[in-house]
Amino acid sequence: MNKLLLKDAFGWGIALWFIGYVLGFVLFAIVPASMIGWVIMPIGVIITLWVLLKKVKGNSFLHYFLVAIVWTIIAVAMDYLLIVKVLHPVDGYYKLDVYIYYALTFILPLLTISIKKRHGEEQIAVVGELTDNPNVKVAMTRLGRGLVTIADISKGEIIARFDGEIFSAGMASELPNDQPLYVRDHAVQFSDKQYRWSKFGTAMNHSCDPNCGINGTGSMFTIVSMRPISKGTELTFDYEMTEDSDWRMDCKCGSPICRQTIGAYANTPNETRKKYGGYVAKYLIDKYGEAK
């Protein structure tokens, strides 16, 4: 069981149960005992959905299925040990509201992954679709999907905006890499521990001799053309313009100056850094300084 699953299943499962437990004691002094479960339920659903949508980071159905199982086991076990056995409810504990609570504990993670999958599919660039630049479209290239100009573009034009979901991880290898987004392989790093999605930027292929680069600071950045580019040209950027973690890729760009293996900016040759100038993620320039 990986760290992400441990955190999502056991960490959040125990935290959510404890929140409900504390709420029960607070409400005991305000509402009749028979109503406590019904009052907690909508509050718990809201908090649980927020956790599932904002904090649980898995992208696979299996991940959420395991979360659902663990959360339900935690709820049943902790209720029995710390409510039934310790508090001895006078009128008993296992009533309709409790069974609905157990059902929701299992169902909500599965509902959430269905929503996330649908949303994720909407974040995938489709061949033929126009991008953030009306003169650029998604097209099939020799390396699969890519971005190609359908008209001449000038230097400095925005090709793609990175304005999608932000992911946090100590290392790239800790990021989820499930369908449909494959975040580990496609989200772009913008700080030591943060990565961002872009519907069109993540469709761009790498080249060791790119015609596009990075512009902007912090979490809001874009990919721009580094020079005038003619109609019918594939747009590429060097993935090491943003990456500085343990992610690696065997390069198949076909350039005469291909570096064979692509990964961290720390490994980018100084001459290449000088050629890119300011078209590199700001956090890397802050970290390593400008190439001289």
**pLDDT tens figures, 4-29:** 889 999 999 999 999 999 999 999 88
- Which residues are 262's β-sheet partners? 249
User: 71 falls in which pLDDT band (50, 70, 90)?
Assistant: very high
The sign of the dihedral angle between the CA atoms of 270, 276, 281, 286 is positive
Model pLDDT for residues 145-204, shown as the tens digit of each residue: 899 999 999 999 999 998 888 888 889 988 887 766 778 888 999 999 999 988 888 889
| DSSP string for residues in the chain | --HHHHIIIIIHHHHHHHHHHHHHHHHHTTS-GGGHHHHHHHHHHHHHHHHHHHT----SHHHHHHHHHHHHHHHHHHHIIIIIHHH--TT-S-SHHHHHHHHHHHHHHHHHHHHHHHHHHHTS--TT-B-SSTTEEEEEETTEEEEEESS-B-TT-EEEEE-S-EEE-SSGGGS---TTT-HHHHSEEEETTEEE--TTGGGPEE-SS-SEEEEEETTEEEEEESS-B-TTPEEEE-GGGT--SS--EE-----TT--SEE--GGGS-HHHHHHHTT-S-HHHHHHH----
CATH superfamily of the 136-288 domain: SET domain (2.170.270.10)
- Farthest CA pair distance, the chain: 80
User: 3 falls in which pLDDT band (50, 70, 90)?
Assistant: confident
Residue type, 115: I
Highest mean pLDDT among 123-127, 150-154, 172-176, 274-278: 150-154
Q: Is 158 exposed, middle or buried (0-12, 13-18, 19+ CB in 10 A)?
A: middle
Q: Which of 242, 215, 217, 197 minimizes the C-alpha distance to 159?
A: 215
The CATH 2.170.270.10 portion of the chain extends over 136-288
Q: Whole-prediction pTM value?
A: 0.65
Model pLDDT for residues 219-232, shown as the tens digit of each residue: 778 999 999 999 99
Residue type, 252: K
Examine the pLDDT at 218 and tell me if it is beyond 90: no
Give the per-residue pLDDT at 1.
58
In percent, the amount of the chain with pLDDT more than 90 equals 69
Summary mean pLDDT of the chain:
91
